[in-house]
Every structure is written in C-alpha cells, then in structure tokens.
Amino acid sequence: MKLPFRIGAGLLGVAGVAAVAFLGDHMLDAHGRDRFIREGSRAGPVRVTDFGPLPDELDESSGLAASIAHPGVFWSHNDSGDEPRLYAVDTTATLISTVNVGGARAVDWEALDIGTCPLEEEPPDAWCLYVADTGNNARRRQTVSVYVVPEPDPRAERGSVDALGAVRFSYADGPTDAEAIAITAEGDLIVVTKWGAPRVVLHRIPAVDVRRALSGGDTLRLGPGRELPIRSDFMLGGVVTGAALDGDEAILAVRTYSELYFFAWPLTVSVLEGAPRCFLGGLQVQGEAVDLLPDGRALLSSESPGGASSRLLAVTCAGVAG
C-alpha cells in the first residue's frame, strides 16, 4: 500500500487532506501519535534483531512468509507496481532468487503466507505460497484474489512457477481493502481488513470453500466476519498491514504500523488477548508485513518511504517468544 503522504512528516497530498478533515481532533504530530499509542500498549519489544537492509529489488516488501521446507529462507513480494514476482532472501536479508509467477496478475499484492497445498494432485509434503492480491485503497475493485503458488526452489536463482489458480471473493458490504492474510493448518484462509468503522474485521474462509473456488473458479461472497478490538485510525498508525499464526496455532498476530496485537486462536465468543500488545513505534515507519518464526519472534518488513532502506527485522515481544 503506497501512502499519499508520510504520517507525521507534514507532507499531505489530496488524500491526506481528506484524511485530516475526516479525523479532525485525532490528528496528532509524530510525538503525540507515538505517545498516544505507547500509553495504550503494555510494552515495546524485549529484543530487536536486525538482519540487514533488504535488496534494492525488494524496495516495497509488503508480504512475508518463512519457508518451512527451506529453513532460513524468507519469501516476500513488492507492493503494487511490480510484476507478479516472488523474492527469496536469507537470514542476512540477501537476495537468493527472483521467481516469476505465471498465471497471476499483480494489481495490488499486499500479503503472503505459506501453508499446505489445497489440491489433492499436489504431493502431500508440498507447501504452497498464498499471495494476496487484495489491496483496494480506492475501494473500486469488486472482486479480489488470493493466488495459490507451489513453493519453488529458492536456490534456482531466477526461475518461474505457475500458480495453481486463484481464490476469488467479494465482500457482502461492498469493496473493502485488506492487507493481511493467514493460513491455518487445515487450509482455512483468514483475511483481516485494513481498517473499518470503527474496527477492523476478520473473515475466515473454510478450506472446503478455498478448494471449491480454486478448482471450480467460483467467486466467493464473504459474510460479515468478526470485529477485532483494533481502533482504526490512519494518523495513529491503527491500520492493519499484516497477520500470521504461530506454529501451534495458539496465537494470531496482527500488525499495524505502530503495534503488534496477539489474539488467542481460535477465536471464541469473545476475542481474547493471547499476549500483551507490543508497541513498535517508529521502528518501521511504513511497516507492511509480519510472520511468526518457530521461536516466537515476529519477523517484520516494510516499504521504503522517502528512499530509506527497508530492513528485515525480528522482534521478541513479551508473552510470545518460545
């Protein structure tokens, strides 16, 4: 997601002016914004690990998925403006390979996860990457897609792979922007909206519907979903840009520009906190992606506003690290 302005920098475009008019009294300067969020959070990260700057080819990292078959390999992709490509980097944030994805379009790729492949013809030990072409800032796209892509060999340098197909869906309430997905072990697809009025919403697409949409080409229509206790506010960084499940599927992490939320999974009648919120502050000005590593650390990447290098980070937050 490209912002028409930099939060707290005083550089507002037309969309920024509209946002200010909409938010009114909620408009804060950078220091006020950080203070507001920090006071509502329990604590910041216990530890931050900096893997290094991401390669120039990956200057708008908008999705992250840690490979299971290839430990130490992390998949990512750029935001809108790139071709349908996946990038593999290692634990030094160095580019390993670039992979073109056949049978896919990159309108507004916003999120990424890895899980079992949903079609029976795929080998039982195969893994698939789920690429969310779900960005919809202007809310003009009636239908969005999540492409299902067999995980390629990350050591193949520059290669290509064909998508198995796409899970296409629309929302009952009309076009909606979403930049966060996660895949359960059973193959359910979780979609979290970017913002809402007043809260973001989680949609869960059962695995059977994922397979039906993928094999039959059906376009799914999502229901109302579940509200999450995340206050939507652009100026306060309260917009959702990523999500991930931990390996035990006990915690769903949802990131915004400024915080990591940890919800107990699966959701019950009440949405319960699985761990204290983790305040990220200005660690990544335009943080876009998250994945949870086996040791509980949250892997983070971001876009590169103003030409600043995007860095691959891992943060340890209280109550989450194994």
Q: Is residue 272 part of a domain?
A: yes
Question: Quick one: pLDDT band at residue 13, thresholds 50, 70, 90?
Answer: very low
| Most confident of the following: 123-132, 161-170, 198-207, 305-314 | 161-170
- Average the pLDDT over each of 2-16, 215-229, 239-253, 262-276 and give the range with the smallest value: 2-16
Q: Where are the alpha helices (DSSP H) in 105-236?
A: 207-216
Q: Is residue 263 part of a domain?
A: yes
Q: Is residue 3 part of a domain?
A: no
Total count of domains within the chain: 1
State pLDDT tens for residues 237-269. Answer: 789 999 999 999 999 999 998 899 999 999 999
State pLDDT tens for residues 271-295. Answer: 999 999 999 988 887 899 999 999 9
What CATH number does the domain containing 65 carry?
2.120.10.30
Residue 195 in tokens: 């913002």
Cα–Cα distances (Å) from 140 to 16, 58, 135, 217, in that order, read 19, 27, 10, 22
Backbone angles phi, psi at 179, to 5 degrees: -130, 20
Instruction: Calculate the dihedral angle through the C-alpha atoms of 29, 33, 34, 38, rounding to the nearest 10 degrees.
Output: 150
Question: Quick one: pLDDT band at residue 26, thresholds 50, 70, 90?
Answer: very low
C-alpha span between 282 and 313 (Å, rounded)? 13
Q: Is residue 4 part of a domain?
A: no
Question: Quick one: pLDDT band at residue 31, thresholds 50, 70, 90?
Answer: low
Residue 25 belongs to what domain range?
A: 14-316
Q: Is residue 5 part of a domain?
A: no
Q: Report CA torsion sign: 125, 86, 260, 54.
A: positive
Q: Is residue 244 part of a domain?
A: yes
Which distant-in-sequence residues (6+ apart) come within 8 Å of 231 by Cβ? Answer: 198, 199, 238
Backbone angles phi, psi at 258, to 5 degrees: -115, -15
Q: Is residue 287 part of a domain?
A: yes
Q: Is residue 166 part of a domain?
A: yes
pLDDT confidence of residue 65: 98
C-alpha span between 259 and 257 (Å, rounded)? 6
pLDDT confidence of residue 41: 54
